[in-house]
Amino acid sequence: MTKYSAFALIALLPCAYLLPTQDPVKSKEVAPTVIEEETDIPFPIWMDMFVGEKVGDKDKQERHYICGTGVREKYFIGVDVYGFAYYVEKAKAVPALKKAHKSGISFKKLLKDKTFHKAVMADTYNKSMRWVMARDVDGEDVAEAFDEFLEPGIRDIAGSDKELRAGLKAMREMRAYFASGELEEEDELIFLWETGGKMHTYLNGRKLGKIANIHLCYALFDVFVGFDPVDEDGRENIYKGMVKMVEKAK
């Protein structure tokens, strides 16, 4: 089973949203890492997505850069469930974020700014999340957590009964990935939101499936970067990383 060590992590850096100064040679360099401080889980500062896939005769591969890290806890028992990191395809993400970023706005106000949040959640660029389990978790518990997280979000954003039915069907399809078996400590999950509302899910490097539903994509990612996130500190780290991307692009 592939663990996060399979990334051949070579550096432990203290900053939770460090950005590279320049693009590395994609085919040779290995990503240094940052540490999610509560779980001590390392995350690479970039990930190559769509590896092995092609568009016509060209490789589809693209590089996603880290924005920030956080942790999902079971608050009532104080247990860390998984560390997570949020990534974007920088070349297309930065223009959208830059356009929405108001000059001179304080970070406190930015966290509440609906225009910037809309850019964070835009379906105009690819984005991804990497989870690494901090403990063993029963698959049924994971499936139930998806119900808890996703159904309210899908209901909030669905514009019609037809959209709601499609969104809940997509949620059940994703839920089925995890309804049996167990996720073990150090297992890796990657969720890739591809433009056009397509959600790709990977477990330890193995693709579990692709689901085409924009409401599912939005509901899942909004749990981490929306106005009521599972980890407020994690959301702030992610936003700080995005602001740094915008500032470096000026």
Digit-by-digit pLDDT tens for the chain (250 residues) are 433 333 332 233 333 334 443 444 444 679 999 999 999 999 999 999 998 888 888 889 999 999 999 999 976 667 999 999 999 999 999 999 999 999 899 999 999 999 999 999 999 999 999 999 999 998 888 888 888 889 999 999 999 999 999 999 999 999 999 887 789 999 999 999 999 999 999 999 999 999 999 999 999 999 999 999 999 999 999 999 999 999 998 7
What is the bridge-based pairing of β-strands 12-13 and 33-36? parallel
d(CA 248, CA 239) in angstroms, rounded, equals 14
- Full DSSP string of 24-91: --TTT----EEEETTTTEEEESEEEESTT-EETTEE--EEEEEEEEEEEEETTTTEEEEEEEEEE-HH
The pTM for the full model equals: 0.86
The secondary element (H helix, E strand) that includes residue 183 is: strand 182-183
State how many domains the chain has: 1
Q: What is the CATH classification number for the domain harbouring 185?
A: 3.50.70.10
8 Å CB contact between 126 and 89: yes
Domain boundaries, position 229: 4-249
